[in-house]
Amino acid sequence: MRLTDNEIEAIAQKIVAKTPSSGRRPIVVGNWKMHKTPSEGEALVRELAALVETADCEIGVAPAYPCLGQVGRALGGSKISLCAQNAYWEKAGAFTGEVAIGMLTELGVSQVIIGHSERRQFFGETDETVNLRAKAVLEAGLVPILCVGESLQERDSGLTHAVVDRQVRGGLADLSGSQVAGMVLAYEPVWAIGTGKVATVEEAQEVHSVIRQLLAELHDAPTAGAVRIQYGGSVKPDNAAQLLAQPDIDGALVGGAALKATDFAAICMAAKAE
């Protein structure tokens, strides 16, 4: 029996419809870096909250430490969660310039970015210190957003997979499968951050799938399947939908475009739960 083109198409549609969805809810986080004063941050989230009311994803904003209180109060009742850009692993003590996780939880912070490439590049973060931070954030019951990614030189030397492998293994060292399953990872190629150069969807998806395979190797397939992996690096309203449609891209970590409510909202609206 020969099937007509229409019959083949109908069967193909059924197969696609039956493919189990990943069950991973997309998560889009705005990393404000060292931008916005407390009052500017408050104005930004007030505008943003109204724009993302119907977004079908998890949304967070990560203002600088001094803005967390005011921005957190302005977020009250909205669907946007409060994230910090870093946190120290000790609970208290003589650590001038550092911020303890307990100080963040009291302000309503629920996620903490750790190991951002700017921390690694300019502030001496290593896989070991990133791992200490990840453990402390998890112990406090918050969600770490662990950033990894290669530099341009590393990519040009064919080292992308090796670098990401080292950073994921190092950052997750000694963590249990259930701890890892609750984390968010962010793949951010350093050469794409703030440069306007975005990885192609194929390049991004490829590294995301390599990371997920590594998680399966380090733990197991259900753990790897549960971890949400964001893409970061020049995500904008005009490239977000394509990136977010990739099977292993579960959200975005957004820098520059997160500073404008309409741009960030457009990216959030492009992320859809399966």
For ligand PGA, the binding residues (CB under 6 A) are 31, 188, 193-194, 232-235, 253-257
Minimal distance in Å, beta carbon 130 to ligand PGA?
A: 15
188 flagged as catalytic? yes
For the bound state, the minimum distance from the C-beta of residue 20 to ligand PGA, rounded and expressed in Å, comes to 30
**Min CB(7)–ligand PGA separation in Å:** 46
Based on its alpha-carbon atoms, the radius of gyration of the chain, rounded to whole angstroms, reads 19
- Measured from the CB atom, the residue of 68 and 100 that comes closer to ligand PGA is 68
Report the C-alpha gap between 66 and 228 in whole angstroms. 28
**229 contacts 212 by C-beta, under 8 angstroms:** yes
116, 118, 150, 219: the active-site residue = 116
Report the alpha-carbon distance of residue 241 to residue 139 in Å, rounded: 34
By beta-carbon proximity to ligand PGA, the closer residue of 30 and 100 is 30
Closest CA to 103 of 92, 95, 93: 92
**Residue 5: other Cβ atoms inside 10 A:** 7
Q: Give the other-Cβ count within 10 Å of 99's Cβ.
A: 17
CA distance 58 to 53: 11
Of residues 198 and 215, the one with the C-beta less far from ligand PGA: 198
Looking at the Cβ atoms of 72 and 251, the one nearer to ligand PGA is 251
Find the catalytic residue in 125, 150, 188, 219.
188
Q: How far is the CB of 255 from ligand PGA (least distance, A)?
A: 2
CA dihedral 153, 31, 122, 92 (to 10 degrees): -140
Residue showing the smallest CB distance to ligand PGA in the complex: 255
Which amino acids are annotated catalytic? 116, 188
